[in-house]
Amino acid sequence: MTITTQNTDAIRALQGLEDGRSSVRLRTALAVGTTPDPHFIDKLIERCAIEPEFFVRDMLTWALTRHPVSMTLPKLLREVRSERVQARSQALHTLSKIGDRQAWPAITRTLLSDADDEVARSAWRAAVVLVPEGEGAALATVLATQLGRGGRETQLSLSRALVALGEVIAPALLAATTARDPGRRAHALATQRLLRDPDAGFESAIEEAKRVVALGRSRQEGR
C-alpha cells in the first residue's frame, strides 16, 4: 500500500467517525479497530467524548483497546480529568477494558465520588479492575461512602463493584449498617446479602433490607 493510499484511507476513516449516520460511525470504528493505526487514537478518544450512541461508543472503546497501551494510556489518563462528563466516563470505561494497573493512581477519590452518576459508576468499575493487590480493603472503605446514593441502577453498580472485591469489604459494610441515613443502611445490608449469596436478586435484597431498617426504626421509636 502506498503512502498516498494510506493517507486516503485515514481521511476516509476520520470522516466516517463524524458521519451523521450511526451505522456508518459503527462500521468505521469497527474497521479502525480491525486495522489499528496510531494516527486514529486522538480521533477515537475525541469521538468518545461526544458520541451519542451507546453501541458506537462501545465500538470506539474496543478500537482503542486494539492500539498499543503505551500510546493510548497517557491520553486516556488526561481524559479522566476532562470537564466533559462523557469524556471522563468513557475514558474510565476504556481504562477498565484495557486493564493496565499503571492507570490505578488516576482513580482518585474525587472520581469515585463524582457528582455525575455515570462517571462515578465507570470509576467504580475501573477501580475494581485496576486496584493493586492488598489495596482492596482501602478501596472498599472509599466505595462504602457512596452507599445509598442514586437510583436502583446506580446502587446496583456500586453493590456489584463492592462484591467483586470479595470478603475484604465486610468491615466497611458492617460500619455502614449503623449509619444514620436509612437509605445507606439498607444499601449496606442489601450488599451484605449479595456478598453472602451472589445469586440473590438485587431488588429482593434491597426490599428486604428496607424492611429490616424500617423494623429496627419502629422498635426504637416504640421504646
d(C-alpha 138, C-alpha 107), whole Å: 13
Give Cα separations from 62 to 44, 67, 153 (angstroms): 10, 9, 24
d(C-alpha 38, C-alpha 221), whole Å: 65
DSSP tag of 132: P
pTM for the full model? 0.87
- Grid coordinates 477501580 are at which residue? 127
pLDDT given at position 214: 66
pLDDT given at position 11: 72
d(C-alpha 80, C-alpha 93), whole Å: 10
> Do the beta carbons of residue 202 and residue 194 sit within 8 Å?
yes
pLDDT given at position 215: 61
Report residues of the chain scoring pLDDT below 70: 1-10, 201-207, 209, 212, 214-223
**Other residues' Cβ atoms within 10 Å of the Cβ of residue 222:** 6
Write the Ramachandran bin of 66: left for phi over 0, alpha for psi from -120 to 50, otherwise beta. Answer: alpha
d(C-alpha 73, C-alpha 53), whole Å: 23
pLDDT given at position 142: 97
Q: Give the three cell numbers for residue 77.
A: 489518563
pLDDT given at position 3: 40
DSSP tag of 50: T
